[in-house]
């Protein structure tokens, strides 16, 4: 039983590492158009949508990983109900979302 648990842990760790290694690529593919490759949001779309600077450590402290996960997975709407960020639930797995959030945390200065 212990060996099975150990193997499962190793496999899950390897899968998480694979997603972590792919997170910058997923960021570039899915997020950089609005948030910028560097996370500052200084893109045409980012400025129009008034996205927050994800390199700002103080801003990053205003949300939890769980909150970020929900917004990435389900999308984000403003108070008037206008879509600010499309949902990614059908485009990426939960593990990929978690890896991208971990990557976002590395952007804070």
Q: Does the pLDDT of residue 45 top 60, yes or no?
A: yes
- Tell me whether residue 103 is exposed, middle or buried, using C-beta atoms within 10 angstroms of its C-beta: 0 to 12, 13 to 18, 19 or more: buried
Give 73's contacts (C-beta < 8 A, 6+ positions apart): 87, 88, 89, 94, 97
Q: What is the CATH number of domain 2-107?
A: 1.10.760.10
38, 54 in Cβ contact below 8 A? no
Residue 70, Cβ neighbours under 10 Å: how many?
15
CA 64-101-105 angle, 5° bins: 75
Q: Stretch 62-73: mean pLDDT, rounded? A: 95
- Whole-model pTM: value is 0.78
Q: What is the pLDDT of residue 67?
A: 95
% of the chain with per-residue pLDDT over 90: 70
36, 52 in Cβ contact below 8 A? no
Q: What is the pLDDT of residue 11?
A: 46
Q: Does the pLDDT of residue 6 top 50, yes or no?
A: no
| All structural domains of the chain with their residue ranges | 2-107
């Amino acid at each position: 039983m212990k060996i099975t648990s150990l193997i499962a842990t190793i496999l899950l760790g390897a899968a998480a590492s694979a997603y972590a290694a792919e997170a910058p690529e997923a960021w570039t593919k899915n997020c950089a158009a609005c948030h910028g490759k560097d996370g500052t949001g200084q893109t045409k779309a980012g400025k129009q949508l008034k996205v927050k600077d994800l390199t700002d450590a103080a801003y990053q402290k205003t949300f939890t990983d769980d909150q970020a996960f929900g917004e990435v997975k389900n999308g984000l709407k403003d108070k008037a109900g206008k879509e600010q960020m499309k949902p990614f639930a059908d485009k990426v797995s939960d593990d990929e979302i978690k890896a991208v959030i971990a990557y976002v945390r590395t952007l804070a200065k």
